[in-house]
Copies of this chain bind each other. A is one copy, B any other.
Amino acid sequence: MCATAAYRLVVIGESRADAAPQAGRPLRADAERSMRAILEAAERVLSTNPAASMEQVAEAAGVARTTIHRRFASRQALIDALADAAVAHLRAAIDQGRPETAPPLVALHEITARVLRTKISWRFALDLPAKAGSAAAEGQQDIARRCLELFARARDLGLLAAGADLEWTRRVYYALIGEALHGDGEQTDPDILAGRVVETLLHGVSPRDR
């Protein structure tokens, strides 16, 4: 799904009842492979059918159902972990767009294209409502904060209206990104989609009088 992962998978307790990854002994190589296979399969299966069973996820991952239960205390724990992993990927993608240093318009294009690419692969997990206090929630908040900062920079440069409501701008931006992914195959290139998103965000659909 994504070649490079910026995190490491670990286990803590020995008891089967609390297999939540937090801190402790690092996983053996084959276990980490399984873990990754499970998360990726869960994303694939659940994005098609959110009510899919653990059995279906296990089959798609090429492991036994019991193996999933060994790593994740419950179905919910799996989904939570999935959300955390997806947000971590998203954050990494955004970092690569240099939101704090690149010129705002360049950063906006760059980030949009990267986010679109990531969202294609983690559609289900990224649409999940983040649980309060989770790593995913923290990540989403951080992303929103940096998004607002980028827009503030853009506004200071005259790219946005001086009185623009940055929070509304952010929400519109998110909505446009979401919409760009709903296309029925007629246009899927992230760079082209990003251009359309940014153009629409800034200027809407009315004629440009200039």
A interface residue numbers (CB < 8 A to B): 51, 158-162, 164, 168-169, 171-172, 174-176, 178-179, 182, 196, 200-210
In angstroms, how far is the closest chain B Cβ from the Cβ of A3?
Answer: 31
Copies in the complex: 2
If A178-B175, A179-B175 touch, does A161 touch B210 (CB 8 Å cutoff)?
Answer: no
Complex contact A196–B168 (CB within 8 A):
yes
Complex contact A202–B201 (CB within 8 A):
no
If A171-B182, A175-B179, A176-B172 touch, does A164 touch B209 (CB 8 Å cutoff)?
Answer: no
Contacting residue for A175 out of B51, B168, B175, B204, CB 8 A? B175
Complex contact A208–B161 (CB within 8 A):
yes
A161 nearest CB neighbor, chain B only: B207
Contacts of A209 in B (CB 8 A): 209-210
Complex contact B205–A160 (CB within 8 A):
yes
Per the bound structure, the CA–CA distance linking A175 and B201 in Å amounts to 12
In angstroms, how far is the closest chain B Cβ from the Cβ of A128?
Answer: 13
Task: Report the 7 A-B pairs with minimum CB-CB distance, sorted nearest first.
Answer: A204-B204, A175-B179, A175-B175, A161-B207, A202-B206, A203-B204, A202-B204
Not counting A51-B51, A169-B205, a sample of 11 additional A-B residue pairs whose C-beta atoms are within 8 angstroms of each other reads A159-B206, A160-B207, A161-B207, A161-B208, A162-B207, A168-B196, A172-B205, A175-B175, A175-B179, A202-B206, A203-B204
Contacting residue for A203 out of B162, B178, B182, B206, CB 8 A? B206
